[in-house]
């Protein structure tokens, strides 16, 4: 019982710090609009906020810095690293390409030649190995701390859903930035927020599964980096083809299907693992 | 394993923190020479010079973390520990890779900061040094992949001398190749520039970058094999 109480207190402090980082961007919106330098500094602080919240909470609550999940744990876990690289790429591909084909625009896919795809995958692998390290600022907080505390309180399903929602809402400043700048309507901004709420819990389940399997945040860091970079990569490949300037690539609800399926599959896998562990005990 | 990480941190924390400072070198140069840096070309010069000098110093600091472990007693002790010499070497490789990543993140942040600062000041035409930094980071990974096995096989001092001799031999060979192809040099350089500019359209450059990472892993395996042989040559 005491452990649950402690976890709740720690989670509360953690979430308060993370929420403050989002609020900070809203509060400084005028300054960000006026100065690019301020934007550069504040956005970096914002991106590192979950990791900073992890460290601050551990220091404030005197929890200590054990079990930070910072070891790579490569031995025996290479298959998880490989999956961390491949799955976001497949998900992004499946969310963009089938709708284009079903919409009768197969001619847009001229850039998807074997040579271009191989080049793009190799570039993603090389960049992912070095550039994704920046995302440790997020993953050290979400997967390295929040999930651990949340799971003891609300279970696996709750962690995926609530954690995924918290992770999505933390992105509010960037999702609302166009609306606040007057370049977007409120309903368009809410569509972006809603879209994120639909697809991030899917990734939350996958990253949580990866972290549990490897006892390390690094596969989640790699996967997060690849998921961000693969969107640019797919767009680059589309641009190489014969795609009209005003082409509408978003396909509505269909683009979220791969992420929702991913979420369900990995949630089910985690529940199976939990059941097995309980049976063993 | 945690103990080895702790040992590396205690032994090399200033070198690791030095990575952040190396990344901040363009900003430090800008602060030092703020009176004479006025135009876009000045800013670009500061950005490029700071980045290159930063990379060179960062590389030097990474190599310096290898010193101090070439002792016979330490080699025997660590090989008898539960993690073994393989565990020790793995932590060393992971730490150096982590140092390279820290440097990359730091230089990316400070370059971006300077770039945003020039935009605020209304200075146009300053470009991100990141395009130049990323290939150099991979070069750094490759150089470390060469450095580490030499250091563990022959000790820090001897290893660096042998590596330097090999590097000079490579440079001479390259010079001879260039001299033979001196008439076609412009065509070759233009070809390389073209490949670099359109790297996403050909798998060659991405394949080179991926093979650099593979080389780093192979280097780890080689170091594991050579370490105990090298230990016989270390001082007590």
Length of chain B: 236
The secondary structure of A176-242 as a DSSP string is HHHHHTTSS-HHHHHHHHHHHHHHHHHHHHHHHHHHHHHT-SHHHHHHHHHHHHHHHHHHHHHHHS-
Q: Which of B94, B101, B206 sits opposite A126 (nearest CB)?
A: B206
Residue of B210, B212, B214 for testing the chain A interface, max A β-carbons within 10 Å: B210
Phi–psi pair at A76, nearest 5 degrees: 80, -5
> Can you say whether the dihedral through the CA atoms of B17, B22, B23, B28 is positive or negative?
positive
The secondary structure of A62-120 as a DSSP string is T--S-----S---TTTHHHHHHHHHHHHHHHHHHHHHHHHHTT-GGGGGG--HHHHHHH
State the smallest CA–CA distance between residue A236 and chain B in angstroms: 9
The residue to which tokens 């300054």 are assigned: A31
A231, A94 in Cβ contact below 8 A? no
Of A49, A23, A263, A71, the residue nearest A141 (C-alpha): A49
The answer to whether the Cβ–Cβ distance between A71 and B100 falls below 8 Å is no
Buried b (16+ CB within 10 A) or exposed e, B197-208: eebbbebebbbb
The answer to whether the Cβ–Cβ distance between B200 and A120 falls below 8 Å is yes
Q: Does A102 touch chain B (CB under 8 A)?
A: no
Q: Which of A36, A125, A236 sits opposite B116 (nearest CB)?
A: A36
pLDDT of residue B161: 82
Phi–psi pair at A231, nearest 5 degrees: -65, -45
Q: Is the pLDDT of residue A162 over 90?
A: yes
Q: What is the largest CA-CA distance in chain A?
A: 62
CA distance A78 to A84: 10
CA distance A95 to A215: 29
Buried b (16+ CB within 10 A) or exposed e, A221-258: bbbbbbbbbbeebbebbbebbebeeeeebebeeebbbb
The answer to whether the Cβ–Cβ distance between A240 and B116 falls below 8 Å is no
pLDDT of residue A250: 66
* Residue in A closest to B112 by C-alpha: A40
pLDDT of residue A254: 79
SS3 A35: coil
Q: Which residue has the higher pLDDT, B37 or B20?
A: B20
pLDDT mean over B205-213 = 92
SS3 A14: helix
Phi–psi pair at B66, nearest 5 degrees: -80, -20
pLDDT of residue A172: 93
Half-sphere exposure at residue B38, Cβ-oriented, CA atoms within 13 angstroms: 2
pLDDT of residue A233: 87
B92, B148 in Cβ contact below 8 A? yes
CA distance B90 to A41: 35
The secondary structure of B159-182 as a DSSP string is HHHHHHHHHHHHHHHHHHHHHHTG
State the smallest CA–CA distance between residue A259 and chain B in angstroms: 27
pLDDT of residue B81: 87
Measure the N-to-C terminal CA separation of chain A; round to a whole number of Å: 20
CA distance A118 to A233: 12
Of B58, B47, B50, the residue nearest B17 (C-alpha): B58
- Residues A125-160 have pLDDT tens digits of 998 888 888 899 999 999 999 999 999 999 999 999
Q: Which of A115, A127, A133 sits opposite B105 (nearest CB)?
A: A133
State how far the alpha carbon of B109 is from the alpha carbons of A40, A52, A250, B102, B185, in Å: 8, 17, 32, 11, 36
Q: Does A122 touch chain B (CB under 8 A)?
A: yes
Percentage above 70 pLDDT, chain A: 98
pLDDT mean over A175-184 = 87
State how far the alpha carbon of B161 is from the alpha carbons of B75, B150, B155, B168, in Å: 21, 9, 10, 11
Mean pLDDT of chain A: 90
User: Which of the residue ranges A113-122, A204-213, A245-254, A271-280 would you say has the lowest mean pLDDT?
Assistant: A245-254
CA distance B18 to A60: 28
B220, B93 in Cβ contact below 8 A? yes
* ipTM score: 0.86
- Residues A30-59 have pLDDT tens digits of 888 889 999 999 999 999 999 999 999 999
Buried b (16+ CB within 10 A) or exposed e, B42-65: ebbebbbebbbebbebbbebbbeb
Q: Does B131 touch chain A (CB under 8 A)?
A: no
Of B227, B79, B99, the residue nearest B151 (C-alpha): B227
Q: What are B235's strand-pairing partners?
A: B71
Whole-model pTM: value is 0.89
pLDDT mean over B174-179 = 83
pLDDT mean over B75-90 = 88
């Amino acid at each position: 019982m005491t452990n649950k109480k402690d976890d709740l207190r720690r989670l509360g402090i953690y979430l308060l710090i993370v929420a403050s980082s989002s609020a900070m961007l809203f509060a400084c919106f005028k300054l960000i609009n006026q100065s690019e330098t301020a934007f550069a500094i504040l956005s970096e602080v914002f991106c590192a906020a979950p990791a900073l919240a992890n460290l601050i909470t551990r220091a404030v609550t005197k929890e200590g810095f054990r079990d930070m999940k910072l070891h790579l744990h490569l031995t025996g876990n290479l298959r998880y690293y490989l999956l961390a690289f491949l799955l976001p790429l497949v998900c992004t591909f499946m969310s963009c390409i089938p709708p284009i084909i079903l919409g009768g625009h197969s001619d847009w896919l001229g850039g998807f030649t074997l040579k271009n795809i191989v080049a793009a995958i190799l570039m993603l692998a090389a960049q992912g190995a070095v550039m994704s390290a920046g995302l440790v600022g997020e993953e050290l907080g979400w997967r390295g701390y929040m999930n651990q505390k949340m799971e003891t309180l609300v279970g696996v399903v709750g962690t995926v859903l609530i954690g995924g929602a918290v992770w999505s809402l933390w992105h509010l400043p960037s999702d609302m930035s166009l609306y606040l700048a007057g370049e977007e309507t409120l309903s368009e901004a809410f569509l972006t927020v809603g879209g994120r709420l639909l697809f991030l819990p899917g990734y939350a389940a996958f990253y949580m599964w990866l972290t549990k399997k490897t006892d390390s945040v690094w596969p989640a860091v790699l996967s997060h980096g690849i998921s961000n970079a693969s969107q640019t990569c797919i767009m680059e490949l589309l641009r190489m083809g014969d795609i009209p300037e005003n082409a509408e690539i978003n396909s509505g609800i269909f683009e979220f299907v791969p992420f929702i399926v991913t979420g369900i599959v990995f949630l089910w896998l985690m529940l199976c693992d939990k059941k097995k562990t309980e049976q063993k005990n | 394993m945690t103990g080895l990480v702790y040992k590396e941190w205690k032994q090399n924390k200033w070198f690791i923190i030095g990575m952040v400072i190396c990344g901040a070198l363009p900003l430090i140069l800008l602060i030092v020479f703020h009176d004479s840096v006025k135009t876009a070309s000045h800013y670009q010069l500061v950005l490029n010079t700071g980045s290159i000098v930063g990379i060179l110093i960062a590389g030097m600091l990474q190599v310096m973390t290898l010193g101090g472990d070439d002792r016979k007693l330490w080699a025997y002790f660590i090989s008898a520990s539960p993690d073994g010499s393989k565990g020790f070497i793995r932590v060393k490789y992971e730490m150096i890779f982590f140092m390279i990543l820290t440097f990359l993140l730091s230089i990316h942040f400070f370059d971006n900061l300077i770039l945003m600062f020039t935009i605020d000041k209304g200075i146009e035409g300053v470009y991100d040094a990141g395009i130049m930094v990323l290939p150099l980071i991979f070069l750094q990974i490759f150089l470390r992949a060469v450095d580490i096995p030499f250091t563990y096989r022959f000790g820090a001092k001897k290893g660096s001398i042998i590596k330097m001799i090999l590097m000079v031999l490579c440079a001479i060979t390259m010079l001879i190749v260039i001299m033979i192809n001196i008439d076609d040099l412009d065509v070759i350089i233009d070809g390389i520039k073209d490949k670099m500019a359109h790297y996403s359209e050909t798998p060659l450059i991405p394949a080179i970058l991926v093979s650099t990472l593979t080389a780093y892993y192979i280097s780890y395996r080689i170091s594991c094999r050579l370490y105990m042989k090298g230990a016989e040559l270390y001082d007590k």
